[in-house]
Amino acid sequence: MKIQALTLALWTAHAAAAHAASAGESTITLGEVTVRGPQTDPLLAAQILTSVDVLAGDMVEDKHVMNSWELLGQMPGIQLTETRMGAESGKASFRGFNGEGYINGIKVLIDGIPSNVNSGNQRFIDMIFPLEVDFIEVVRGTNDPRYGLHNIGGNINVGTRQGGNYADGRLTLGSFNTREVQAAFGRESGGLAQNYFVAKQDSDGHRDHSRSDKYVLGGKWFHTSDDRRVKLGLTARLYEHDAEEAGYLTAAEMSVSRRQSPAKNANDSSGRDMKQLAAHADWQIRDDLLFSNRAYFNQYQDDRRITFTSYAVGNAPRQRRLWDETQTGLLSTLTWRAGPMLTLDGGLNAERQDNAYRRERYAYSVPTNFLGTPARVQNDEDYSLNNVGAYLQAIINPTEKLKIIPAYRVDRFTGSTRLNLTGGTASLQDYGWIDQPKLSVVYSLTPGTHLYANWGRSFQVLTGSREPAYLTPGQAAYKPSINTGKELGVKFKPMAGTEARVAFWQQDATDEVANMPSTGTTVGLGQTRRKGIDVQLTSRVTDALTVWFSHALQEAKVVSAYTASGASLAGKEVFSTPRYISNLGAEYKATPSLRLGVQGRAQGNYYIDDLNAQGKYGGFAVLDASLRYTISPATSLDLQLKNLTDRQYEYVWYDNFFWGGADQPMFSPAPGRSGYLSLNVKM
């Protein structure tokens, strides 16, 4: 079992940086985590010493979701933005960064590979299905030096299965004519490990005109040298998704039918193709020196045809948006355990983006006819974004109870855009070198009680294909928005089998913007302040019963800024940000063959406009239930009931764009009560 032996050796060298056994850590884990290696082992985040949560694969593999970002709804303090418009289905966010699309503050990685699109949106995460997941790791705050671009409020890393010998299958049938099949296969022999995954999902959708068809193919191949010091690997994924879009409803339309799709949207659709290819190389140079490298290629292509309003004047509401983005990059890290009291960890990264964006406008018709010649082309640009970054952190253990981690990161960006409609060109905003100092401290009062504090800076830069991200004629210069965060927390064990954590945090940003590259909309929020309290508890009450609870109170406000018309935004809440997010769950093993589960999620209302003048919407409280019956060691059945109480809730945004005729809330209703039955086979 060379793969497992080397990954364990690599993990030992890398995790020694944390020295967690003596100085403590702040990670809370839900489920059973398997130690594998530096790329896939969630315990590595313990060295970051912030609020870290890990959701293990056994809590994920038996869940049915239409989109993979929904899996994060089980985790503490996660806001799910459920747009549910075809392939543009939604995303996860936390720490007061909303999922509206304007403020993308969360970095996403798949097996340690950066997986955001240019705007920061999380579309690559849809390539992962539950049966392939080994763990999901969430790191909150500003003190993680490993990543720069999009790592404003924290990061999410989805680790998939690597190594092992298994053949698992899952067949699901359920509401809205949903059909899904997943198959995972792993073989490990000698120095070679192979993992394969395939999934197909079809559904008619919970609304009219919301059919969805998607599939994914994935493979992993890793080889370990005979001396167990070198591990080389290749990972590949291919994803395709074709979907209809039901369109947003007005309040009047929704009161008539929550499942309807207005006639104007009858031709709305989205098609998405994504690819990810990565090469991995880990070299244990010496027992105390580990060198890790990841080279990657990401491609994202999207064709979205949408109608926002039936207002007859102009062609702005009827759009076809086409993205074609390619990312190539490299991440290299070197970890040296100098001794029991000192470990040095440093890294370099480089990424090149070659992107294209085209936006076409179509004349008024019901439904919109996207097959004819567009009335006009508003955007047609080819643009590049280059990022070079580096970090260094020291893990210092002056005593067994104290751990200090100073860190420093720098990033630089360059790039250019070509405006194909005019032939004009422009360079990227000149941000210079963006400095990000960080500091973390943890002190172990007892073996089960750990106090921690951290301070750090992260940043936001503008994205998109033209102004304001690029210095087109007349465009003012922008400085990067610097986000300074601080956190004070305690993790403790109030009783056997129970872990709890309480954290107080605050993040202050300068020159923040709400930026929607697809519409060319940029709202200057100026100086903002986000702050909150996170309370979490997980407890194995008995051998049969496990419960977990979390409650996040948060506030995101503008400190100093003005609208384009001169109105002050000071004291206004950042739109689409609820004041609380709660989670409650329990799992009970009634018999060796029967397992019952229940989970409740709740979220507060939020303002939908920057002036906080249009009221609050979007709050909900939903309850899900599950049952697993084990027929044999190789076969089991899952029954999942979602939104058990048939709660009516929806995603809401404010349509006040320049095309007129709207200036009203627009709604995307969530599914009502639904059920899914799955057959699981393990060989």
pLDDT digits (tens, 9 = 90+) for 328-363: 999 999 999 999 999 999 999 999 999 999 999 999
Closest to 364 (Cα-Cα) out of 348, 355, 373, 375: 375
Tally: H helices and E strands in the chain: 3, 36
Domains in the chain, start-ordered, CATH in brackets?
2-682 (2.40.170.20)
Closest to 103 (Cα-Cα) out of 81, 76, 71, 73: 81
Instruction: Compute the distance between CA of residue 184 and CA of residue 385 in angstroms, rounded to an integer.
Output: 36
More confident residue, 33 or 559: 559
Interval 59-102: pLDDT, tens: 888 899 999 999 999 899 999 999 999 999 999 999 999 877 78
First to last CA, the chain: 19
Interval 409-439: pLDDT, tens: 999 999 999 999 999 999 999 999 999 999 9
Instruction: Compute the distance between CA of residue 623 and CA of residue 418 in angstroms, rounded to an integer.
Output: 50
Mean pLDDT of all residues in 276-290: 96
User: Does the structure show a pLDDT above 60 at 9?
Assistant: no
Predicted pLDDT at 465: 95
| Amino acid at residue number 279 | A
Lowest mean pLDDT across 109-113, 323-327, 521-525, 547-551: 521-525
User: Rounded to the nearest 5°, which phi and psi values hold at 36?
Assistant: -125, -60
DSSP 152: S
Mean pLDDT of all residues in 186-204: 97
Instruction: Compute the distance between CA of residue 238 and CA of residue 273 in angstroms, rounded to an integer.
Output: 8
User: Does the structure show a pLDDT above 80 at 195?
Assistant: yes
Burial state string for 416-438 with b = 16 or more CB within 10 A and e = fewer than 16: ebbbeeeeeebebbebeebebeb
Mean pLDDT of all residues in 249-259: 95
More confident residue, 310 or 480: 480
Predicted pLDDT at 567: 87
User: Does the structure show a pLDDT above 50 at 535?
Assistant: yes
pTM here is 0.93
User: Does the structure show a pLDDT above 60 at 44?
Assistant: no
Predicted pLDDT at 47: 57
Instruction: Compute the distance between CA of residue 556 and CA of residue 573 in angstroms, rounded to an integer.
Output: 6
- Tell the burial category of 155 from Cβ atoms under 10 Å away from its Cβ (0-12, 13-18, 19+): buried
Predicted pLDDT at 663: 80
Closest to 322 (Cα-Cα) out of 306, 298, 341, 339: 306
Mean pLDDT of all residues in 568-585: 94
More confident residue, 35 or 478: 478
User: Does the structure show a pLDDT above 60 at 658?
Assistant: no
Mean pLDDT of all residues in 187-211: 97
More confident residue, 47 or 303: 303
What is the CB neighbour count within 10 angstroms for residue 21? 11
**SS3 of residue 73 by DSSP:** helix
Closest to 243 (Cα-Cα) out of 64, 65, 66: 66
Burial state string for 72-105 with b = 16 or more CB within 10 A and e = fewer than 16: bbbbbbbbbbbbbbbbbbbbbbbbbbbbbbbbbb
CB 83 within 8 A of CB 93: no
Predicted pLDDT at 40: 35
The two beta strands, 606-607 and 616-617, are antiparallel
Instruction: Compute the distance between CA of residue 302 and CA of residue 247 in angstroms, rounded to an integer.
Output: 18
User: Does the structure show a pLDDT above 50 at 299?
Assistant: yes
Which residues, other chains included, contact 256 with Cβ-Cβ below 8 Å and sequence gap of 6+?
none
User: Does the structure show a pLDDT above 90 at 172?
Assistant: yes
Instruction: Compute the distance between CA of residue 358 and CA of residue 583 in angstroms, rounded to an integer.
Output: 40
Instruction: Compute the distance between CA of residue 90 and CA of residue 649 in angstroms, rounded to an integer.
Output: 15
Reported confidence tier of residue 10, pLDDT bands at 50, 70, 90: very low
Reported confidence tier of residue 48, pLDDT bands at 50, 70, 90: low
Q: Given the structure tokens 């301070």, which residue do they identify? A: 455
Mean pLDDT of all residues in 500-524: 88
Q: What percent of the chain has pLDDT over 70?
A: 92
DSSP 255: H
Element (H, E) at 553: strand 545-560
**Across the chain, what does the average pLDDT equal?**
90
Hey, what are 237's tokens? 């994924």
Mean pLDDT of all residues in 656-679: 84
Lowest mean pLDDT across 14-23, 89-98, 478-487, 672-681: 14-23
CB 415 within 8 A of CB 427: yes
Closest to 651 (Cα-Cα) out of 601, 603, 580: 603
Predicted pLDDT at 254: 96
User: Does the structure show a pLDDT above 50 at 149?
Assistant: yes
Instruction: Compute the distance between CA of residue 168 and CA of residue 160 in angstroms, rounded to an integer.
Output: 14
Instruction: Compute the distance between CA of residue 25 and CA of residue 13 in angstroms, rounded to an integer.
Output: 17
Interval 606-638: pLDDT, tens: 999 989 999 999 999 999 999 999 999 999 999
Hey, what are 592's tokens? 């060796």
User: Does the structure show a pLDDT above 50 at 11?
Assistant: no
Report the sign of the C-alpha dihedral through residues 46, 52, 56, 61, in that order.
Answer: negative
